[in-house]
């Protein structure tokens, strides 16, 4: 893959052509290696980022405005460091098959849509953005079939022990699964599924499209800069692995931070619907989207929908940077003929 930056004016030297490593698509991957290594790598990433998810969830279900520092201090004082990993085993158990489904849907759709758009005569940059957007959308919808019940169970465990914990006590993930199933039926495990789709499907589409576009903008700017310096103008510029990873990480962080801000209100509504069991004391019954929104507006206006934005923004930016660099590294490790993709 190569990208050439357009010259700013006629007097300047021709910008350098950027020679990027070959894009690895679904057909080039060793599937067994891809899924096994992916499970191991992403489990480690999930463990590192899990505390931020716990803090974000506690802030979202709180009925009063709390700061991140007070929440962290409260968890440490009352629950100790283990409080930051409540529900982690349950989350990890579901993350492995969900990630596998997500990656399969992502790569299959990206490869299929990318090929189709090129055949239709769409320019390569636009085709790449369209393929990434479609891939992100399909991957998010597919993965939510597993992630939603895992979210419901793990988030109930996350807030247990906190000031807004459920009156029902759970001994662990299996116990929570059983009690939710007994009290609410199968629908209870998919509480907030519709909002989850509304949150993550467009978010993933925008994220992957933005990620693709951001990379192209950065590489084009770099080619223009190298061309102005006169370095490698004739032979082109081939970035090393560190430079490629840095560009991928910056592009991912930008896309992740923007997605976090745009989808924050929907994520807060989804989390409350999945965690809070209702408002029986107010005679409101089971939580719905309308009741959740009214409750949030009554507690703190529209800004209540942005509780936990700091941890979520940090978590999504760090997660996006870590996940995409890990993901691209994983694809390189899983390529059938690794020597051909340097």
Distance between CA atoms of residues 281 and 292, nearest Å: 15
Q: pLDDT of 302-338, one tens digit each?
A: 888 888 888 888 878 887 888 888 888 888 888 877 6
Query: What does the CA dihedral 44, 48, 49, 51 come to, rounded to 10 degrees?
Result: 130
End-to-end CA distance of the chain: 11
pLDDT, greater one: 291 or 175: 175
Distance between CA atoms of residues 102 and 200, nearest Å: 12
| 341 has pLDDT over 80 | no
Which secondary structure element, helix H or strand E, spans residue 228, and what is its range? helix 193-229
Give the pLDDT score at 275. Answer: 80
pTM value?
0.71
Closest to 20 measured CA to CA, from 296, 171, 202, 241: 241
Closest to 310 measured CA to CA, from 80, 137, 59, 136: 59
Distance between CA atoms of residues 24 and 331, nearest Å: 7
Give the pLDDT score at 313. Answer: 82
Give the pLDDT score at 281. Answer: 41
By mean pLDDT, which of 137-146, 181-190, 246-255, 277-286 is the weakest? 277-286
CA dihedral for 21, 23, 29, 33, sign (positive or negative): positive
Pairing of strands 17-19, 2-4: antiparallel
Please answer whether residues 251 and 211 qualify as being in contact, where contact means their C-beta atoms are separated by less than 8 angstroms: yes
Span 262-283, average pLDDT: 72
Span 81-90, average pLDDT: 91
Closest to 277 measured CA to CA, from 152, 163, 162, 146: 152
- Residue in the block written with tokens 């989390």: 271
Say what angle helices 88-119 and 173-184 make with each other, to 10 degrees: 80
DSSP for residue 162: S
| 134 has pLDDT over 70 | yes
Give the pLDDT score at 280. Answer: 43
Distance between CA atoms of residues 169 and 160, nearest Å: 7
Q: How many CB atoms lie within 10 A of CB 144?
A: 23
Give the pLDDT score at 96. Answer: 83
């Amino acid at each position: 893959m190569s990208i050439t930056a357009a010259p700013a004016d006629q007097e300047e030297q021709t910008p350098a052509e950027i020679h990027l490593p070959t894009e690895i698509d679904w057909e080039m991957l060793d599937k067994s290696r891809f899924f096994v290594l992916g499970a191991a790598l992403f489990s480690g990433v999930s463990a590192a980022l899990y505390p931020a998810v716990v803090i974000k969830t506690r802030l979202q279900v709180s009925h009063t405005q709390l700061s991140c520092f007070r929440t962290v201090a409260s968890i440490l004082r009352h629950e100790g460091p283990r409080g930051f990993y409540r529900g982690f085993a349950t989350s990890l158990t579901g993350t492995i098959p969900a990630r596998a489904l997500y990656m399969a849907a992502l790569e299959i759709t990206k490869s299929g849509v990318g090929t189709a758009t090129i055949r239709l005569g769409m320019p390569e940059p636009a085709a790449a953005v369209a393929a990434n957007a479609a891939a992100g959308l399909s991957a998010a919808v597919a993965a939510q079939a597993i992630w939603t019940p895992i979210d419901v169970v793990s988030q109930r465990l996350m807030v247990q022990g906190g000031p807004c914990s459920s009156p029902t006590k759970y001994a662990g993930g299996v116990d929570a699964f059983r009690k939710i199933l007994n009290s609410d039926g199968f629908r209870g495990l998919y509480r907030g599924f519709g909002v989850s789709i509304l949150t993550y499907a467009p978010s993933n589409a925008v994220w992957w499209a933005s990620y693709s576009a951001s990379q192209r903008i950065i590489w084009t700017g770099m080619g223009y800069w190298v061309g102005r310096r006169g370095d490698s103008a004739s032979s082109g510029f081939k970035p090393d692995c560190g430079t490629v990873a840095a560009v991928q990480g910056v592009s991912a962080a930008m896309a992740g931070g923007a997605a976090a801000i745009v989808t924050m209100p929907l994520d807060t509504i989804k989390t409350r619907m999945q965690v809070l069991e209702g408002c029986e004391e107010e005679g409101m019954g089971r939580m719905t989207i309308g009741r959740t929104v009214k409750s949030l507006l009554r507690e703190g206006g529209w800004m209540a929908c942005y509780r936990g934005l700091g941890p979520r923004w940090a978590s999504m930016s760090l997660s996006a940077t870590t996940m995409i660099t890990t993901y691209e590294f994983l694809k390189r490790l899983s390529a059938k003929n690794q020597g051909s993709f340097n």
